[in-house]
Chain A
Amino acid sequence: MASIIIHQEKIKNPGDVLKVCPFGAIQYENGVLSISAACKMCKLCVKNGPVGAFELVEQPLVQIDKDAWRGIAVYVEHTHGEIHPVTFELIGKARELAAKIAHPVYAVFVGYQITSKAEELRHYGVDRIYVYDQPELEVFRAEPYAAAMEDFITALRPSTVLVGGTTVGRSLAPRVAAHFRTGLTADCTKLDMQPNTDLDQIRPAFGGNIMAHIRTRNHRPQFATVRYKIFSAPPRLQQPRGEIQVMYLDPERLRSGVRVLSIESKPVVENIENAEVIVAVGRGLRKEQDLELIRALAERLGGQIASTRPLIEAGWVDPRRQIGLSGRTVSPKLLITCGISGSVQFTAGMGAANFVVAINNDPQAHIFKVAHLGLVGDLYEIIPALLQQLGSGQPSQVQEHLKTVKSEVIG
């Protein structure tokens, strides 16, 4: 049993040590210090408290045999056999990780009438593709899909399983991880491999202002989910490689309490995730109508608009256009942020942008630390001036609007 033990005698001012714990887990009652259930085992009290006052006691654990688990498996996310691009990104990463420990890379493809589609995966350099192609697996349902994954894991004993952080992946991966009672780290933004096959997983924690480095040290397989567009897909190989192996599961094991009645595709909306140019706006915008200014710039640059969460909450912008931790991850070639402070929740979603320009009137704004090019100034002056530079392409309506905006700013 690992726990924190307090050596009361080494603490001179009990009242002062309460502050050491960021989670308020250290309590002082009736002259006695104790630790409550709020403790997150972050060990900061051990590190930052009075010397020797807080001690972490751990019992040595029985080590599992990590050599019994080989290979890095990627779950193939798809809709009716159309492979989601996050899959290729994960395969690229899996190859990189596997090369460090000389493990094979597997892809697991679960669905119905998909075996022919598996051919495409051979162009991305996996060693073997395991296909579960049965009518019960025609559409995604957590239990049957989890059963297929369980079957694969039991048969192949992969050391690591990577799953795309989509709604499907986030429903499937936990179910399978819980089945094997093993660790799952969600939404990793960086992955690396230790020689002992421990996966180094980095993800935003505590709402995103802090990064956590996580390992699954004594359980296999180790699961990680990664969102779309965090990693880049490897180039498609001319020469396909890797074999396809078709698996079969007793339909008894594919039973489910869920029956799908219908599936329809969502109405297509412009998708900021695929946009090459994005003009994003934040609370620096004073009112909804001023969005015209942002739209004009986006239009002129052939891009789309996006925003921070407060504008979504205000109902000014469609929620699908939110960039960030609780929004979308974007990877445009150009991202211009206007009146955005650069909270970590926001920047968590823009990590993959190639070139970031920030316009903000506060020289201290955090966005300047993450932008490639920062302009300290008023968006209500800079954007109209830029639009003027960009020339005649703008509709006259916007011109009119700019005039009113300008006069309001001055007035």
Chain B
Amino acid sequence: MNIIVCIKQVPGTSDVKIDEKTGSLIRDGMDAKMNPYDLYALETALQIGQETEAHVTVLSMGPPQVKEIIQEAFLMGDVDGVILTDRRLAGADCLATSYAISQCIQKIGLPDLIICGKQTTDGDTAQVGAEIAEFLHIPHITNVLKIEEMNANGMIVEADLPGMLQRSEIRFPALITVEKDIYQPRLPSFTRKKRLAGQPMQVFSVQDLADHDENHYGLNGSPTQVMRIFPPETDTTSEVWEGSSQDLAEKLFCALQERKFI
């Protein structure tokens, strides 16, 4: 059995601010890390790997630095690493990202199971998984809370729907996105670190993909376009009071009374 886990590198901090005068982004610290939700996806694959001796590959698309998170994955378990990196992928929206990843998965060979994190902390769109499934013409289930059973042909999972829990059987090849807490992700192991220091990873570029028309990737392959970025609006009708706590409490009491909350 083969499993591919899709992981993404995200900024280590979300403290991105916008300079109101110049309109440019200010980011404190450029350090990057593995998208926290992807740790659950990886842990799920490693758990399945332990039970079924499945072969696990982690795949990440991004700038060359994404090798750092592949190395992080090496420290968590026995996995192969693949990165897809190319300047022509720059500026990709969800569609172009999913398309590139689906092409890369076909390059590696369609596995039995693809596991994605529920969403990322930077894009936060939670739609790449389902788009990859569509491009690969395979079934998918999002928000998986629990894997109950599995065999060579498929598995039984429990997934979160609005107000409902749905238990279903999904046939392989398939894609799932997993909820936080499906399994507790293990910590990177430092004894592994010595052993794995130089473990190689495969590096692909657009040229290696079956479809290498650069118009299908990056900004060119992205139907959505960011027209403008700007700081969030703040409501100007606000009023701020200072004073002794006793006074403030009294004034608040009156304000709540005035508005009929009391």
Contacts and interface: CB of A to CB of B under 8 A. Distances in A.
Contacts of B160: 167
B239 A374 contact: yes
A13 interface: no
Contact of A209 (B14, B125, B128): B14
Given A140-B166, A263-B165, A257 B138 contact: yes
Interface in B96-151: 98-99, 121-131, 133-135, 138-143
Interface in B15-72: 15-18, 22-27, 30, 62-65
Contacts of B223: 181-183, 216, 218-219, 222
Interface string B229-243: 111111101111111
A263 B95 contact: no
Interface in B161-185: 161-171, 174
A36 B67 CA distance: 14
Contacts of A167: 142-143, 160-162
Interface in A84-106: 84
Interface stretch (B73-81, B191-199, B244-252): B244-252
B23 A47 contact: yes
A262 to B, nearest CB: 5
A14 interface: no
Contacts of A207: 11, 14, 16, 121-122, 124
Contacts of A211: 229-233
A205 B226 CA distance: 10
A38 B63 contact: yes
A285 interface: no
A22 B16 contact: yes
Interface stretch (A239-247, A288-296, A378-386): A378-386
Contacts of A186: 94, 124-127
A355 interface: yes
B124 A25 contact: no
Question: From DSSP, what is the main secondary structure of chain A's interface residues?
Answer: mixed
B247 to A, nearest CB: 9
B245 A22 contact: no
Contacts of B62: 37-38
A141 B162 CA distance: 13
B124 A378 contact: no
B1 interface: no
B14 A208 contact: yes
B66 to A, nearest CB: 9
Given A174-B130, A216-B225, A39 B246 contact: no
Contacts of A168: 161-162
Contact of B238 (A143, A182, A372): A372
A388 B167 CA distance: 50
A390 interface: yes
A37 B100 CA distance: 13
Contacts of B22: 48
B140 A184 contact: no
Contact of B227 (A213, A264, A369): A213
Nearest to B243: A377
Interface string A162-173: 000011101111
Contacts of A1: 88, 214-215, 220
A214 B226 contact: yes
A48 B25 CA distance: 11
A389 interface: yes
B90 A174 contact: no
Contacts of A264: 164-165
Interface in B196-232: 214-215, 218-220, 222-232
Contact of B130 (A2, A171, A357, A371): A171
A194 B66 CA distance: 39
B211 to A, nearest CB: 12
Interface in A156-200: 166-168, 170-179, 181-187
A163 to B, nearest CB: 11
B161 to A, nearest CB: 6
Interface string A243-283: 00000000000001111111111100000000001000000
A11 interface: no
B225 A217 contact: yes
B14 to A, nearest CB: 3
Nearest to A56: B219
B152 interface: no
Contacts of A37: 62-64, 85-87, 89-90
A382 B162 contact: no
Contact of A212 (B98, B130, B228): B228
Interface in A332-351: 333-334, 344-345, 347
A173 B95 CA distance: 12
A259 B232 contact: no
Interface of B: 11, 14-18, 22-27, 30, 62-65, 85-91, 93-95, 98-99, 121-131, 133-135, 138-143, 154, 156, 160-171, 174, 214-215, 218-220, 222-235, 237-246, 248-253, 255-256, 259, 261-262
6 contacts: A22-B25, A38-B63, A176-B134, A210-B232, A218-B223, A376-B242
Given A36-B87, A215-B225, 11 more contacts: A42-B25, A79-B163, A172-B130, A176-B134, A184-B224, A206-B14, A213-B226, A262-B167, A345-B14, A371-B240, A373-B240
Nearest 8 A/B pairs, CB to CB: A41-B91, A257-B139, A207-B14, A183-B223, A385-B249, A381-B245, A38-B63, A174-B127
